[in-house]
Amino acid sequence: MTEKLFWENPKGQSFHYLRYIPRDLEPGEKRPLVFFLHGAGERGPEDGSELDRVFRYFWLGRAEKGEEFPFLMLAPQCPDGKYWGSFLESLNRFLDEALQTLPADEKRVSLTGLSMGGTGTWLWALSDPERFSAFAPVCGTGVYWYGEQLIHKPVWAFHGDVDEVVPPEESLSMIRSINKRGGKARLTLFHGVGHDSWVGAYEGDVLMKWLTEKSLED
């Protein structure tokens, strides 16, 4: 079931968000949670009137059309003119509250995002790696000299090899930085694909299975 909700944060940024909870949950059961950060084109007015933009490219759009998934999803909407890097403190507070109130398995919380959200995924991963069981940044930019923060985390990045908006070197630099320090991050480069590498990344169920099978106990 997909819901449109508002999270009010008296200590920082407030925002509208989408939430998906599987219909077949048993009482007391907990499921993996996938947290999604959208791109710049899906930002909207602070009144939430364009929240539907967040459905565009992620599995939430399929859920809105009636497809069922065996895990929870959360996707906040960044307001127009803002970017995810300025929201990290509020996102952490939002996630804390969500884990206290939702039937989510705290050991299986993964993070993914595209474009501006791919950058947000890298930034949040680097600043709070212990919060998540896995990361899947799509066509985002990272801070490669801090790659050592992720050497013990499952990371699977995606990029188009002819992306002219965010050069693929951004993902390549992050993966190299992690792996040369002993990590095992992976990168999928889509041949002949530009900035819309999220199409291939989120197609089918390969990535969703990879994300939701990871655990902090692995």
| CA nearest to 126, candidates 86, 178, 73 | 178
- In this predicted structure, what is the pLDDT of residue 142? 94
- In this predicted structure, what is the pLDDT of residue 162? 98
Query: Does 188 reside within a domain?
Result: yes
pLDDT of 12 above 90:
no
CA-based R_g, the chain, Å: 16
| Mean pLDDT, range 2-21, rounded to an integer | 94
pLDDT in tens, 106-154: 999 999 999 999 999 999 999 999 999 999 999 999 999 999 999 999 9
Alpha helices (H) along the chain: 59-64, 88-101, 116-127, 169-179, 198-202, 206-213
Query: Does 46 reside within a domain?
Result: yes
Query: Does 218 reside within a domain?
Result: no
Neighbours of 85 (CB within 10 A): 13
- In this predicted structure, what is the pLDDT of residue 59? 97
pLDDT in tens, 165-185: 999 999 999 999 999 999 999
- In this predicted structure, what is the pLDDT of residue 218? 84
CA atoms within 13 A on the CB side of 42: 26
Q: pTM of this prediction? A: 0.97
Q: Tokens 């490219």 appear where?
A: 57
Q: Kindly report the CA angle at 78 between 49 and 151, in degrees rounded to 5?
A: 150
- In this predicted structure, what is the pLDDT of residue 29? 95
Residue 115's CATH number: 3.40.50.1820
Burial (Cβ within 10 Å: 0-12, 13-18, ≥19) of residue 213:
middle
- In this predicted structure, what is the pLDDT of residue 1? 82
Name the average pLDDT for the chain. 96
Of the listed ranges 6-15, 29-38, 90-99, 120-129, the one predicted with least confidence: 6-15
Structural domain boundaries enclosing 37: 2-213
The total number of structural domains that make up the chain: 1
Query: Does 180 reside within a domain?
Result: yes
